[in-house]
Structure 1
Amino acid sequence: MDRKKAIALSFSVPVAWGFSYPLMKIGMDSMNATSIVALRCIIAFAACLVLFHKHALRINRDLMVRAAIIGAIMATELTCMCLGSSLTSASTAGFLQSLTVVIVPFANAALLRRAPERKVLIGTAIVTCGMLLLSGADFTSLNPGAIIMLLSAFIYASHIIVAKRFVEEVDPLALGVWQLGFGGLFSGIAACTFGGFTLPSTPNEIVVVVALALICSAYGFITQTLVQPHVPAETTGFAFSLEPVCSAVFSFFLVGEVLSPIAFFGAALILTGVMVATVELPRLRSQGHAHMAGAPERVS
């Protein structure tokens, strides 16, 4: 793939991801979270299975066990995203979810028993200031939706860390496809067990579910997989950092959300902190360092 085309496509991925927050908020008006996640994953799984059948059909026990594990984690994270988006503004949800890229380097540092990089510490300090402003200068004022989104960010961080290990042991493309299948299965079971499985009954609901599945899940996953070998690490980090900005833009046009001035400044600080923690400038990169710490692979 041409590098310029790959870079252009890489910047379309955060647009797809940012689109998901207002869509989930709209869907949660009449459907429960587990049903939305189940349908989203099942439709995305079917689409990816058709496109990647040569890889996906080469199954074995190791692949399926690992796909089931990360599929369960992914289903939990997406359910939290749905709940969080319904209980707080979709734009705020997008900014809080982006904290994953700060959490992952700290988690990796703890697992490897080494201090986080200086840029991660600086980025975290900036993010903390941003969260303080986003919450109205009082962390106790964070509503339940914001707290759930923070939980979602931590769950997604665990998904990244576990998936990073698994992709080194099995075919990553097949793993990504089957995790969607297991995510749909587990979410469907949860929906039937706890809240009753609900299907979209209006044109708006159908559009929301299909868009979440094809644009936010299947397209995001497929495009990232195709462009990743051709895009520099710093470009990946910068593109990921744009997700909350896209979320805020789509939230304004789709659900009419507008951040207050102080919350807007807090969101800008969160975005700045995420970029500081993830984007590597060439002059700061050590000799031979090819990977950017904390730039996660997004599969949802």
Structure 2
Amino acid sequence: MDRKKAIALSFSVPVAWGFSYPLMKIGMDSMNATSIVALRCIIAFVACLLLFHKHALRINRDLMVRAAIIGAIMATELTCMCLGSSLTSASTAGFLQSLTVVIVPFANAALLRRAPERKALIGTAIVTCGMLLLSGADFTSLNPGAIIMLLSAFVYAGHIIVAKRFVEEVDPLALGVWQLGFGGLFSGIGACTLGGFTLPSTPNEIVVVVALALICSAYGFITQTLVQPHVPAETTGFAFSLEPVCSAVFSFFLVGEVLSPIAFFGAALILTGVMVATVELPRLRSQGHAHMAGAPERVS
């Protein structure tokens, strides 16, 4: 793939992901979270299976076990995202979810028993200030939706760490496809157990579910997989940090959300902190090392 085309496509991925927050908020007006996640994953699974059947149908026990594990984690993460988006503003949800890229370096540092990188520490300090402003200068004012989104960010960080290990052991493309299938299965079981499985009954609901599945999940996953080998690590980190900005823009146009001035400044600080923690400038990069530690790969 041409590098310029790959870079252009890489910046379309956070647009697709940012689109998901207002869509989930709209869908939660009449459907439950587990049903939305189940339908989203199942439709995305079918689409990816059709496109990548040569890889996905080469199944074995190791692949299925690992796909089931990260599928369960992904189902939990997406359910938290749905619930959080319905209980707080979609734009705030997007900024809080982006904290994953700050959490991952600290989690990796703890697992490897080494100090976090300096850029992660600086980024976390900036993000903390941003969260304080986003909450109205009082962490106790964080509503249940914001707390759920923080939980989602931690769950997603776990997903990234576990998936990173698994992709070294099995075919990553097949793993990505089957995790969607297991995510849909577990979410469907959860929906039937907790509140009943609901299907979209209006044109708006159908559009929301299909868009979440094909644009936010299938397209995001397919595009990321195709462009990853052709895009510099720092470009990947920068593109990922644009997701909450896209979320805020789509939330304004789709659900009419506008951040207050202090919340807007807090969101800007969160974005700055995320970029500090993820974007590796060429002058700071050691010669011969092009890989950026802590830049998460997203498949949801």
Tell me the secondary structure at the aligned position of residue 295 of structure 1. coil
- How far 1:288 sits from its partner (Å)? 1.9
- How far 1:294 sits from its partner (Å)? 1.4
Tell me the secondary structure at the aligned position of residue 18 of structure 1. helix
- How far 1:168 sits from its partner (Å)? 0.1
Alignment of 1:151-300 (within 5 A): 151-300=151-300
Tell me the secondary structure at the aligned position of residue 48 of structure 2. helix
**Partners of 1:139 and 1:112 in 2: CA distance:** 31
- How far 1:142 sits from its partner (Å)? 0.1
CA deviation digits over 1:229-285, x for unaligned, max 9?
000000000000000000000000000000000000000000000000000000101
Q: How many residues get paired?
A: 300
**Partners of 1:292 and 1:246 in 2: CA distance:** 23
- How far 1:287 sits from its partner (Å)? 2.2
**Partners of 1:294 and 1:203 in 2: CA distance:** 40
- How far 1:228 sits from its partner (Å)? 0.2
TM-score by length of 2: 1.00
Tell me the secondary structure at the aligned position of residue 9 of structure 1. helix
- How far 1:290 sits from its partner (Å)? 2.4
- How far 1:56 sits from its partner (Å)? 0.1
CA deviation digits over 1:178-199, x for unaligned, max 9?
0000000000000000010000
- How far 1:60 sits from its partner (Å)? 0.1
Match of 2:15 in 1: 15
**Partners of 2:131 and 2:210 in 1: CA distance:** 32
Match of 1:143 in 2: 143
CA deviation digits over 1:25-66, x for unaligned, max 9?
000000000000000000000000000000000000000000
CA deviation digits over 1:129-175, x for unaligned, max 9?
00000000000000000000000000000000000000000000000
Q: Does the alignment pair 1:66 with 2:66?
A: yes
**Partners of 2:156 and 2:293 in 1: CA distance:** 16
TM-score by length of 1: 1.00
Stretch moving more, 281-290 or 47-56: 281-290
**Partners of 2:56 and 2:144 in 1: CA distance:** 38
**Partners of 1:288 and 1:66 in 2: CA distance:** 33
CA deviation digits over 1:204-240, x for unaligned, max 9?
0000000000000000000000000000000000000
RMSD: 0.3
Alignment of 1:26-45 (within 5 A): 26-45=26-45
Tell me the secondary structure at the aligned position of residue 49 of structure 2. helix
- How far 1:104 sits from its partner (Å)? 0.1
CA deviation digits over 1:84-106, x for unaligned, max 9?
00000000000000000000000
- How far 1:293 sits from its partner (Å)? 1.3
**Partners of 2:111 and 2:232 in 1: CA distance:** 26
**Partners of 1:286 and 1:194 in 2: CA distance:** 51
**Partners of 1:294 and 1:188 in 2: CA distance:** 32
The unaligned stretches of length 5 or more in structure 2 are none
CA deviation digits over 1:101-143, x for unaligned, max 9?
0000000000001101101100000000000000000000000
Runs of 4+ aligned residues of structure 1 deviating over 3 Å after TM superposition are: none
Q: Does the alignment pair 1:111 with 2:108?
A: no
**Partners of 1:296 and 1:46 in 2: CA distance:** 25
